[in-house]
Every structure is written in structure tokens, then in C-alpha cells.
Amino acid sequence: MCLGIPGQIVAITDASRGLATVDVAGVKREISVAFVRNADEAVEQLIGAWVLVHVGFAMSRIDEDEAAETLKILSELGEVAQETEAMRASGRA
Amino acid sequence: MRFVDEFRDADKAKALLAEIGTVAAKAADRMGRPANIMEVCGGHTHSIFRYGIGDLLPKSIELVHGPGCPVCVLPMGRVDDCVAIAEQPGVIFATFGDAMRVPGSKKSLLQAKAEGSDIRMVYSPLDALALARANPDREVVFFGLGFETTMPSTAMTVLQAAADGTKNFSLICNHITIIPTMKAILDDPGLQLDGFLGPGHVTMVIGLEPYEFIGATYNKPVVIAGFEPLDVLQSVWMVMQQLSQGRAVIENQYGRIVPKGGNPVARDAITRVFELRDFFEWRGLGSIEHSGVKMRAAYAQFDAERRFSVPDVKVADPEACQCGDVLKGIIKPRQCRVFGTACTPETPLGALMVSSEGACAAYYQYGPRAGDEPEKANAA
Amino acid sequence: MSLSGDKSAPTTRRKRDAIHLQRVTLAHGGGGKAMRDLVDDVFVSVFDNPDLAPLEDQARFALSALATHGDRLAFTSDSFVVDPLEFPGGDIGKLAICGTVNDLAVGGAKPLYLSCSVIIEEGTELALLRRVAASMARTAAEAGVKVVTGDTKVVTRGACDKLFINTAGIGVIRTGLDLGCHRAEPGDLVIVNGLLGDHGAAILGARGDLALSSPIESDCAPLNGLIDGLIAACPETKFLRDATRGGVATVVNEIAEASQVGIELIDDATPIREEVRGFCEILGLDPLYLANEGRIVAVVPAAAGERALAALKSHRYGQGAVVIGQVTRGPPGRVTMQTRFGGKRVVDMLIGEQLPRIC
Ligand code: SF4
């Protein structure tokens, strides 16, 4: 359920209504950033931020560190798998 | 595409599959039978089929496709109400595309459109509000549906309409909630589930806390999962690890999108506009306590159910339909007696055949068929 | 068409005469002088060719001249009702020429003569008609075909959506060539001539109701030159079809069905522009089902693959040519896709129209 796509905020179109332009792989659309702006920061601070877009609303700011962390775990798994594979191969030899 | 392609990497997937194989073997030892994991969310069902993930998993892991497609679980009576509103003169009825095909007891919105109703497909509830502004002499009604992911967006749209003093916009609210539904599934005596892939995008709104009871009371692991193939695989791996170690807690695979506490601003919009219904009717699952929301009295003027007279008649699911059993994971779609015969995506009988997220439609579209060569033996 | 039944008689029209003349009125469809003026001014002037000029009720050709191109006639017809009429990369006029030229060319025919019938809603801007007609003329010139006959009807407001065009076309099939949907055999390669889904995405985007903006342009193009080159280099080509409505997924399903073979597509090999992928991700659409107007699917024997690719790539409309799959023994009629993890899924025929999803 709930199709959500990562996109990058590239412009603010209406600060008072919290509307911004999001770019998804070169396709642009106006969305609301009402759910991801901090009350104490100017909405322009969001320019450049990656967000998850669902039905025309940014619903979450993408945590780039978390994303990197997940990929790191997956890479390490890959290395472990390769080593196990190598060990198996050398054990057989 | 950033944050997408990285999570579709084939090499990492291979490594993960190898790991899943190892852990699954341990879990199988411990449990003495294959593990049944339900992906609650239709988005996961879609990814699983689109990337052919089901076939890649070891035989000792069985994926059960859950109820998480808000389009599929819409009961016929509600569709009838929408059609009734759409057919009133002067109404522009705005809806998400995939809701147009859901069968009502007499017709779908798509059929109503063909018969002359002014039904428009929109991408966002904000677009429906814009339609209202552009057509001040018409009544624009938006078909609000979806889980907690979508709820804040429609709530915010209603709040915006209220702030602007828009008089010709209203919402027919069919939003549903995930937790009571998972609880209803967990309470079903016919059920044999060992763990869950939790709905990533719902959780980015509601946060992790609401799932804690599933580990504590029902002793089942839940892993909140993203939607790219690596996300799904890693989440399966995490569930299997819990099972192999005898743990049952809520874990978050989708940390890049899902903060522990969810999105409080979005939840605030929900509570301002909506309140729980005592009961909500689900196609295939029947009536579930507190599983839907309605609009608060303060926003009555934006509530299409209050503004228009709707039939509001409960329509029983067709008798031959076994959607409920499929939704609960008791049978596989192909085991339904009307699958592929009376019920096809062209003429859906049950809701699971309607949206491409529906388990039956996914099986029909992506799955192997009778007469196919037997599926390949699993790698693991 | 009943002129007296003109319900939309413009009682409320406040426009002055000067503007009035910038729009088509019912008088232009009345068969009198006004109609002759419209036809002459907008269409005949741009399609100018000796076969059209006499303005008889039919175009006439010498059989002997046709026979110099081959031994069979190909005849096709297609109607064009696109919304919006003008979109990035083309317009309804270009589409109407390309569609019919391509339908002839994929049968191995050399497209020669086209008809052009237009149904115009009263009130349509003359300037728009002129642009569309000019675009048709340009495209016909590029494709080397002549528009030799036609018809113009004007209908009351609401009876059609601004402008509908029908084109029919005649071509001649070269002697000895036999392209057919039923000829695919296990081992054959499935080739496309470039990026997929551009047209469908461009149209959906141009419609505006989804409020998406993108640099995606329609791939609309006349492909007879490209196909000439392919057949010259690779006469053993078995089948060609333009992947219009329903996209590539539909065409390969038709091949699998007609030839009673399986087809396996390779996920990583299907060429899709980044923006089209983004577009599809946002709306939950599958680009394999998006319409193309300048893309063909070709089935060639494996041994001729390199030659076919080289021939396609040497043409401006084939530079992105790639092999996207192979014909297999698999269950007859079944198209599958090898996903990049070694998973497999069925690629079925589309049921109805693809609708954007939220979930
Ligand atoms: S085949 Fe149709 S009726 Fe049977 S469970 Fe699936 S959707 Fe329901």
C-alpha cells in the first residue's frame, strides 16, 4: 500500500502554504512540505533535502546516514558471503 | 534514481539470499516446519512479484500476502455510496486512479464515468481542492481512502479548505487503520503466522511504538520494511533471525524513511480532522472494531456523507468469493474456487483482483499458471 | 450532419468578427465556398502534389507504377484522437502521418500514398489547424509519402474534441518478403530501436491534470527509412511491429501468442529513460505498457542479431537499438521477465487502461 517515492526538494513555490517543487529523476511536481518542515526553521532550509513523497505530500525527510548504514550492512553481508564461499571453495580443494 | 537504485543491487541481493538460506535452516530446525511470514502491505506484495522474490527464497519460508491494500478491502457498499454521490448533478468526483475499477454492487466508478458522471482522476487530494477552486459553481467531492500514510494528506487538505473558506469541497472518508486490523488477524483462530513484514510507509507516520504489543502479547516478530527488493530481502532476513533465536520484537529495517517516533505533525493533522469509527466494514474481513476513521463534527461541512444522501447499504461479498481466507493467509489465491474463472482482473469478483496490489491480481498477472513447467528448485 | 440542428448557435458569443474568422465555423463544413476556402487554404496548400491537385473525389494511380515497388499492396487505416493535440515532441498531425506510415512499413511495405480525413469541432482555431496541417506536410515529406485525398467535416461544439484525424495509407510490399507474427521460433532475438515509454509519458505529462512537468518528449517518428535499412541488411527479419498502445509488453505478448512460443525479456536490458522511470515510479505505472510512436519490436534469427543491430543503429531513429529478450520454448504464449536477481515474473497483456495508483 501507499506508494512513496524519494525526491529532492529543488524550490519553494509558496512559503506561506508550505508548497515546494520536488524533483524525481528529472520529473517535477508541486508538493506540500507541511509535514516535514520544522516550526523553527525557514522553509527555504528544505531546499536540497531528500524527502519521501506520497500523494503530493512530503511525508518524511530521508535520513541519508541511515541509508548509508543500511547499505553498509548489506555490503558487509556480501563480503561475509564471499568469504564463506571462498572458504568452502578452498576447503574443497 | 537515488535511494532507489542502490536498493535494487543484484550482488547484494545474492549475498542476502545466501544469508537468508543459512538463517532459515536454523529457524526451520528450531520450529520444525516452514516459517509463514505475512507482508501486511500491498506495496510489498507488488515488489515481491515484480522482482520475483518469492521464488528466490528458500522453501522453508512462505510469504503470506496480507490485507494491506486499501483499495482492495473497500466493501461494495462504500463504492455504491461513492457512485451515488458521483451521479448527482453538479458533482465533480475526484479519485485516485486505482479506486476507479473497484466493483460496487452495480457498477464501478469507471462505469459511472462512462455513463456520464464527471469523475476525475487526481494524483493528490490537493489537486481535488484545486478543482474546487477552479469550479466554484460545482461540488467537488474527493474519495479519501488509504491507511495512516494517506490520512494526513487528506486531513491537511480539509484543513486547507477550512482555512481558505472553500465551500464546495468535501471528502467521502474511507480511511482505515492498520493496527486494529493486524490485531484482528492475530486473533483469528485459523491463523498460522510466525512473523510480519511491517508496512514501512504507514509506520513513518505512526512510529514503532504501536506495534510493540505484537511481540509482547502475541510473541511474533515484526520488522518494518522498505519497498525496494533489498529492503524486502533484508527484512525477511531480520524476521528469520528473530525466529531462529526465539526473539519477538519490533525492529526497523527502513530507518532511512521511518523515524522511531513517526511523524507527529502528520498525526496531529489526523487527530484534528478525524476520529475513530466504532466499526468499519472490510471487504473479505467483515466488520473490525476501530478500524476506520470518520470526520469530526467540527468539519461536518466538509463531510460528503453528511452533505449528500448516500444509500449506506451494506452489501454482502459475493458468495463464491474467498477473499477473506486469502487475506488471512488461510488459502493461496489460486486455491480460491473462482480464481481465474469467474474472477479475473477484467471482471473482478473479489477485491483482491482489482488493484495490482491485490494478492489475487498479482498472482494472476505475475505468477506461474497451470500448465507451466514446474517451478525451479530453490537455490538454497 | 444537420446544420439546422445546430444547438450551440452562438447566442452568447460576444467575439467580434475579426476573431470569429480565426475559428472554424459550421459554414466551413457546409460544402460551399467557405469549405473550399478552408480546404484550399489549410490543407491543399501544404500538401501540394500533382496527385492531389485535381481535387477529384478519388486519387488515381497507375498500377504499373505501383508494381515497380513489389508484388502486393498493403492498405491500412488509423484514427487519431490524442489529447492534448500538441505535446512535447509532436502533435496530432505528425502522429497521424507517422502512425499510418509505420503501420505500412512494419508489414515490409514501402508507404506511398495517404489519405487525410479531419473532423473538426466548430470553434477550433484556424491557427491550430494550420500548425497541424504544416506538421503533417513536414512529416509526410520526411517519410517520402504523398497525401493524395482527404475529407473535411465540421461538427457542432461538443460532438468531437477539437480535432480528430483519420489517415489511411497504401504501400507496396517488396517481392519475396514475408513478415509475420507467427514466425517467431525459439532462439530468435527480440530487438527494439530505442528508449521505451517516451510517448506515453509525454502525453500523460502534457495533459496537465497530474501537474507533473518533465523534459520527456514523444518519440513520434516515421520509421520507414529505418525499416528499409534493417530489411536490406537483414532480409531474414521475421517480424516487425510498432509498439504503440499497450507498449512493448503488449507486442511481445501478441508475438508469443501468435507463434505459440515463450518470450523471455531481460529486465536490465529494457532501455528506459531516467525521467520516464521517475514518471512511472511517481504514478505507479509500468513503462513496458506505455505507448510509443517511434519504436518497433523486431524479431530476428539469433545469427542475424549483430547485423540487425548495426543496421538499426546506423539510422537516426535506431541509435538506441538493443536486444531486450529472446524467444524460448517456454509455455506457449507466455512472456516472462528475468529480473536482475535471477527472479522471474510473468509479463501479461494489459487489462484495460493503466491507471495511476496510490498504493
Ligand atoms: S480469486 Fe477473486 S474472489 Fe477469489 S479470493 Fe481472489 S479476489 Fe477474492
Number of domains in chain A: 1
Asked if B214 contacts B242 with a C-beta cutoff of 8 angstroms, the reply is: no
Q: For residue A24, is it within any domain? A: yes
Q: Is B165 exposed, middle or buried (0-12, 13-18, 19+ CB in 10 A)?
A: exposed
Question: Is the shortest distance between the CB of B40 and ligand 1 below 6 Å?
Answer: no
CA–CA dist C48, C35 (Å, integer): 18
Q: Assign residue C194 a region (left: φ > 0; alpha: ψ between -120 and 50; beta: otherwise).
A: left
Q: For residue A23, is it within any domain? A: yes
| B152 min Cα distance to partner chain C (Å) | 14
Q: Is the CB of residue B71 less than 8 Å away from at least one CB of chain C? A: yes
ipTM, two decimals, is 0.90
Confidence of residue C6 (pLDDT cuts 50, 70, 90): very low
Q: Is the CB of residue A88 less than 8 Å away from at least one CB of chain C? A: no
Residue A47 has pLDDT above 70, yes or no: yes
What is the full per-residue pLDDT of chain B (380 aa) written as tens digits? 889 999 998 889 999 999 999 999 999 998 888 999 999 988 898 899 888 898 899 999 989 888 777 887 888 899 999 999 999 999 999 999 888 888 888 899 999 999 999 999 999 999 999 999 999 999 999 999 999 999 999 999 999 999 999 999 999 999 999 999 899 889 888 778 899 999 999 999 999 999 999 999 999 999 999 999 999 999 999 999 999 999 999 999 999 999 999 999 999 999 999 999 999 988 878 889 999 999 999 999 999 999 998 887 888 877 888 888 887 777 888 899 999 999 988 888 877 887 766 788 878 877 665 444 443 333 33
Q: Quote the pLDDT of residue C18.
A: 33
Asked if B365 contacts C346 with a C-beta cutoff of 8 angstroms, the reply is: yes
Q: Grid coordinates standing for B358?
A: 491485490
Residue C53 has pLDDT above 70, yes or no: no
| C285 min Cα distance to partner chain A (Å) | 11
Weakest-pLDDT range from B279-293, C70-84, C154-168: B279-293
Residue B323 CA to ligand 1 centre (angstroms): 5
Task: Flag if C211 and B43 touch (Cβ within 8 Å).
Answer: no
What is the arithmetic mean of pLDDT over C69-85? 96
CA–CA dist B210, B164 (Å, integer): 34
CA–CA dist B68, B71 (Å, integer): 9
What is the arithmetic mean of pLDDT over C208-217? 90
Question: Is the shortest distance between the CB of B72 and ligand 1 below 6 Å?
Answer: no
Query: Between C139 and B346, where is the model more confident?
Result: C139
State the DSSP string of C32-68: SHHHHHHIIIIIIHHH--TTTTT--SS----HHHHHT
Residues spanned by the domain of A79: 5-88
- Looking only at the bridges linking them, the beta strands covering B91-95 and B139-146 are parallel
Q: Grid coordinates standing for A86?
A: 571462498
Sign of CA dihedral B135, B141, B147, B151: positive
Confidence of residue C359 (pLDDT cuts 50, 70, 90): low
Least Cα distance to B94 among B49, B134, B35, B52 occurs for B134
Q: Is the CB of residue C213 less than 8 Å away from at least one CB of chain B? A: no
Q: For residue A38, is it within any domain? A: yes
Closest residue by Cα to atom 2, ligand 1, is: B350
User: What rounded mean pLDDT belongs to chain C?
Assistant: 89
Least Cα distance to B24 among B222, B193, B235, B240 occurs for B240
E-assigned strand segments in B122-182: 139-146, 169-175
Q: Grid coordinates standing for B11?
A: 550482488
Nearest Cα residue in chain C from A55: C358
What is the arithmetic mean of pLDDT over C133-144? 97
CA–CA dist A90, A84 (Å, integer): 10
Ligand 1 atom, smallest distance to B331 CA = 5
Asked if C218 contacts C199 with a C-beta cutoff of 8 angstroms, the reply is: yes
* A6 vs B contacts (CB less than 8 Å): 1-4
- Can you state the angle between helices B359-366 and B42-50, rounded to 10 degrees? 10
List pLDDT tens digits, range C13-46: 333 333 346 888 888 877 778 888 888 888 888 8
Q: Quote the pLDDT of residue C54.
A: 61
* B235 vs A contacts (CB less than 8 Å): none
Ordered by where they begin, the domains of chain B are 4-69+179-252 (3.40.50.11750), 76-178+261-307 (3.40.50.11740)
State the DSSP string of chain A: ----EEEEEEEEEETTTTEEEEEETTEEEEEE-TTT--TTS-GGGGTT-EEEEETTEEEEE--HHHHHHHHHHHHHHHHHHHHHHHHHHHHH-
Q: For residue A93, is it within any domain? A: no
Ordered by where they begin, the domains of chain C are 26-173 (3.30.1330.10), 189-346 (3.90.650.10)
CATH number for A80? 2.30.30.140
CA–CA dist B354, C145 (Å, integer): 45
Helix (H, G, I), strand (E, B) or coil at B310: coil
Question: Is the shortest distance between the CB of B43 and ligand 1 below 6 Å?
Answer: no
Q: Quote the pLDDT of residue C55.
A: 66
Q: Quote the pLDDT of residue C344.
A: 85
Asked if B351 contacts B73 with a C-beta cutoff of 8 angstroms, the reply is: yes
Q: For residue A50, is it within any domain? A: yes
CA–CA dist C245, B234 (Å, integer): 38
**Surface of A (29-48) touching C: CB under 8 A:** 29-30
How far are the Cα atoms of B222, B287, C76, C268 from residue B186, in angstroms, in the given order?
A: 12, 15, 60, 40
pTM to 2 decimals?
A: 0.89
CA–CA dist B20, B22 (Å, integer): 5
Closest residue by Cα to atom 6, ligand 1, is: B360
Confidence of residue C259 (pLDDT cuts 50, 70, 90): very high
CA–CA dist B271, B276 (Å, integer): 9
| A26 min Cα distance to partner chain C (Å) | 5
What is the arithmetic mean of pLDDT over C210-217? 92
CA–CA dist B184, C194 (Å, integer): 50
Q: Quote the pLDDT of residue B368.
A: 61
Residues with Cβ within 8 Å of residue B153, at least 6 apart in sequence: A32, A54, A55, A56, A57, A59, B124, B125, B126
